[in-house]
């Protein structure tokens, strides 16, 4: 289910004020390839705010922030469907409408926060194990160098 991201008033003000950026600038800022941004567009995760008269994709600051969020979710192994769901939740919560603290959107956001923390902890353990391995290799290299000298 592909949905267009909603554009709230703050998004529209950046369009009106002329702060649109072409895809190359956005790619550089976000640290993503043009191909990746186009793929996210095909998947409905980010939609260019508008297009220039020449047909170039034009993005706003809010679009850049959205891409950064997607980029942050990838190392945590969120699927495209999960990313899409979280973006939809954040879009809905960002509309300014009131949401019950125990409502479904806030509850699902809580689930995402918990899953993110669990996955971060797993990554921290993997990083610690990797750092320990790298340190062991340094010691072995130092020992080998000392014997060969």
Burial zone of 102 (CB within 10 Å; 0-12 exposed, 13-18 middle, 19+ buried): exposed
**Does the pLDDT at position 16 exceed 50?**
no
Confidence of residue 10 (pLDDT cuts 50, 70, 90): very low
Rounded to an integer, what distance in angstroms lies between the CA atom of residue 27 and that of residue 64? Answer: 9
Least confident of 48-52, 133-137, 140-144: 48-52
Is the pLDDT score of 138 beyond 90?
Answer: yes
| Nearest of 107, 78, 80 to residue 93 by alpha carbon | 107
pLDDT digits (tens, 9 = 90+) for 100-118: 767 889 999 999 999 999 9
Q: Cα separation of 67 and 46, whole Å?
A: 7
Over range 8-24, report the average pLDDT.
59
Q: Kindly report, residue by residue over 40-93, the tens digit of the pLDDT.
A: 999 999 999 888 888 888 999 999 999 999 999 999 999 999 999 999 999 988
Q: Is the pLDDT of residue 29 over 60?
A: yes
Percent of the chain residues topping a pLDDT of 90: 68
Mean pLDDT score across all residues of the chain: 87
Q: What is the distance between the alpha carbons of residues 26 and 43, in angstroms, rounded to a whole number?
A: 18
- Distances in whole angstroms, Cα of residue 78 to Cα of each of 46, 72, 85, 120: 16, 10, 10, 12
Arithmetic mean of pLDDT, 115-137: 97
Residue 103 CA to residue 84 CA, distance in Å, equals 19
The larger pLDDT score, comparing residue 3 to residue 56, is at 56
The whole-number pLDDT of residue 7 equals: 43
Average pLDDT score over residue span 20-24: 93
- List, edge to edge, every strand of the sheet that includes 21-22: 21-22, 57-59, 50-51
Estimate the crossing angle of helix 61-73 against helix 23-30, to 10 degrees: 40
Residues whose CB is less than 8 angstroms from the CB of residue 140 and which lie 6 or more positions away in sequence, other chains included:
none
């Amino acid at each position: 289910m592909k949905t267009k991201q909603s554009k709230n008033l703050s998004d529209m003000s950046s369009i009106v004020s002329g702060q649109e950026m072409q895809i190359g600038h956005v790619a550089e800022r976000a640290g993503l390839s043009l191909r990746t941004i186009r793929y996210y567009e095909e998947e409905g995760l980010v939609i260019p705010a508008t297009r220039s008269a020449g047909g170039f994709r034009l993005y706003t600051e809010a679009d850049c922030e959205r891409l950064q969020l997607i980029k942050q979710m990838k190392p945590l192994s969120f699927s495209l469907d999960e990313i899409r769901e979280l973006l939809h939740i954040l879009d809905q919560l960002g509309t300014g409408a009131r949401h019950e603290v125990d409502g479904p959107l806030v509850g699902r956001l809580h689930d995402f926060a918990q899953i993110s923390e669990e996955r971060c902890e797993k990554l921290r353990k993997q990083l610690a194990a990797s750092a320990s391995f790298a340190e062991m290799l340094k010691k072995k290299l130092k020992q080998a160098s000392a014997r060969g000298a």
